[in-house]
């Protein structure tokens, strides 16, 4: 039996408080209703669309400039950035990102999103990856939206900057990596 509209809207609101990056498509699947219904629910409750929600989650407006590379060379769309602290990007998995055979996203695209975000977050014009330890937690499918979050954790004994990156589809972690970044001013 379908949930009442009231109950669904209550649960939808709670879901978005916990996982603000959940897409309308994922919400529709979760609640067993159409995407249009989710959109109407959001409008009735004045919940903004995903892109706006991501911006509002960012603790400050993104007013910093990527130093290490031109912004268009970052894989995915950067939606939040505080240099040498943290960064967030979004990558929509499109046909060119998947294995033709099974529509599963290829690992190097998830890696590219995370790695280029780890480069972008460094406040240095020559930031390069020295080492990385990465986990592919679950398969990512065509059409899913991957949100990557990079956090600068500090420096290791060699002066490399450690950046941890987690990538999510909805509230599910799909990729995690630790990146040791070389910087010219280290």
Write the CB contacts of 17 (distance below 8 Å, at least 6 apart in sequence): none
100 binds its own copies (CB under 8 A): yes
CB 150 within 8 A of CB 164: yes
- Chain centre to alpha carbon of residue 39: 22
73, 71, 18, 2: CA torsion to nearest 10: -60
Neighbours of 2 (CB within 10 A): 9
Query: Looking at beta carbons only, is 36 or 99 nearer to its own copies?
Result: 99
CA distance 103 to 185: 42
Per CB under 8 A, the list member of 15, 136, 155, 164 interacting with its own copies is 136
Which residues from 139-158 bind its own copies, rule CB under 8 A? 139
Q: Which stretch binds its own copies (CB under 8 A): 28-36, 38-46, 101-109, 154-162?
A: 101-109
Backbone angles phi, psi at 105, to 5 degrees: -60, 140
Query: Looking at beta carbons only, is 73 or 173 nearer to its own copies?
Result: 73
135 binds its own copies (CB under 8 A): yes
Per CB under 8 A, the list member of 83, 112, 142, 162 interacting with its own copies is 112
57 binds its own copies (CB under 8 A): no
70 binds its own copies (CB under 8 A): yes
Q: Name the site residues for its own copies (rule: CB under 8 A).
A: 69-70, 73, 75, 99-102, 104, 106-108, 111-112, 115-116, 119, 125-126, 128-136, 139
């Amino acid at each position: 039996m379908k949930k009442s509209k009231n109950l669904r809207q209550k649960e939808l609101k709670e879901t978005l408080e916990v996982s603000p990056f959940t897409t309308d498509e994922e919400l529709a699947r979760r609640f067993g209703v159409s995407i249009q219904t989710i959109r109407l629910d959001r409008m009735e409750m004045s919940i903004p669309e995903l892109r706006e929600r991501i911006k509002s989650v960012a603790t400050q407006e993104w007013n910093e400039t990527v130093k290490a590379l031109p912004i268009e060379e970052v894989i995915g769309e950067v939606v939040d950035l505080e240099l040498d602290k943290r960064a967030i990007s979004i990558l929509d998995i499109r046909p060119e990102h998947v294995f033709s055979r099974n529509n599963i996203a290829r690992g190097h695209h998830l890696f590219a999103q995370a790695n280029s975000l780890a480069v972008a977050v460094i406040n240095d014009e020559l930031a390069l990856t020295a080492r990385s330890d990465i986990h592919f937690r679950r398969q990512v499918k065509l059409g899913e939206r991957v949100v990557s979050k990079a956090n600068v954790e500090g420096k290791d004994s060699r002066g490399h900057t450690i950046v941890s990156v987690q990538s999510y589809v909805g509230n599910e972690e799909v990729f995690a990596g630790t990146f040791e970044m070389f910087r010219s001013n280290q």
